[in-house]
Structure 1
Amino acid sequence: MVSIIIPCYNSEFTILRTLESVINQTYQHYEIIIIDDGSVDQTRSVVEEFFEGQKQSYQYLYQENTGPSAARNKGIKNSKGEYIAFLDADDVWHPEKLELCLKVFETQPIGVLGHTYSLSDNFGRRYYGETIEKISSLNLLLKNFAVTPSIIVKREAMQLFDETMKYAEDHELWLRISFINQVGLLDLPLVKLGRKPLSDGGLSSNRWAMRKGELRMYFKASKYKKYLFSILPLLFLFSLAKHLRNIIKGGF
Structure 2
Amino acid sequence: MDQPLVSIITPTYNSSKFIIQTVQSVLEQTFDNFEHIIVDDCSTDNTWDILLELQKKDSRIKIERMKENSKAALTRNHGIKLAKGKYIAFLDSDDLWEPNKLEIQVQFMQNTQCAFSFSNYRMIDEDGKDLNRLVKCPKVISYKDLLKNTTIGCLTVMLDTEKLGKPIMPNLQPEDTALWLKILRNGEKAYCIQEVLASYRIVKNSASSNKIKVAKKMWKVYRESENLSFIPSLWNFSHYAWNAVKKHYL
Q: Of residues 156, 159, 162 in structure 1, which corresponds to 2:170?
A: 162
In 2, distance between residues paired with 1:149 and 1:67?
17
Q: Of residues 140, 143, 147 in structure 1, which corresponds to 2:146?
A: 140
Any idea what the Cα deviations from partners look like across 1:15-67, whole Å, max 9, x if unmatched? 1111111111000111111100110111121122233333x333211112111
What SS does the corresponding residue of 2:237 show, helix, strand or coil?
Answer: helix
Question: Could you tell me which amino acid in structure 2 is paired with residue 187 of structure 1?
Answer: Q
CA deviation after TM superposition for structure 1 residue 179, in Å: 2.2
Partner of 2:182: 176
CA deviation after TM superposition for structure 1 residue 235, in Å: 2.7
Question: Could you tell me which amino acid in structure 1 is paired with residue 111 of structure 2?
Answer: T
**Equivalent runs, 1:24-63 vs 2, <5 Å:** 24-54=28-58, 56-63=59-66
Contact 1:114 1:147 in 2 (8 A): yes
Contact 1:135 1:145 in 2 (8 A): no
Q: Of residues 185, 205, 221 in structure 2, which corresponds to 1:217?
A: 221
Partner of 1:23: 27
Partner of 1:127: none
Residue 222 to residue 4, structure 1, CA distance change in 2 (3 Å):
closer
Contact 1:211 1:240 in 2 (8 A): no
Q: Under a length normalisation based on structure 2, what TM-score does the superposition of the two structures give? A: 0.81
Q: Of residues 62, 65, 71 in structure 1, which corresponds to 2:69?
A: 65
Question: Could you tell me which amino acid in structure 2 is paired with residue 214 of structure 1?
Answer: M
Contact 1:114 1:145 in 2 (8 A): no
Residue 91 to residue 244, structure 1, CA distance change in 2 (3 Å):
closer
Partner of 1:239: 237
Contact 1:134 1:182 in 2 (8 A): yes
| Structure 2 residue 86 is the aligned partner of structure 1 residue 82 | yes
In 2, distance between residues paired with 1:188 and 1:105?
14
Q: Of residues 113, 120, 128 in structure 2, which corresponds to 1:116?
A: 120
What SS does the corresponding residue of 2:93 show, helix, strand or coil?
Answer: coil
Length, aligned pairs only: 229
Q: Percent same amino acid among aligned pairs?
A: 27
State the structure with more CA Rg: 1
Unmatched segments (≥5 aa) in structure 1? 124-130
Unmatched segments (≥5 aa) in structure 2? 131-136
Any idea what the Cα deviations from partners look like across 1:56-97, whole Å, max 9, x if unmatched? 333211112111111100011111100000001111110000
Question: Could you tell me which amino acid in structure 1 is paired with residue 50 of structure 2?
Answer: V
Partner of 2:102: 98
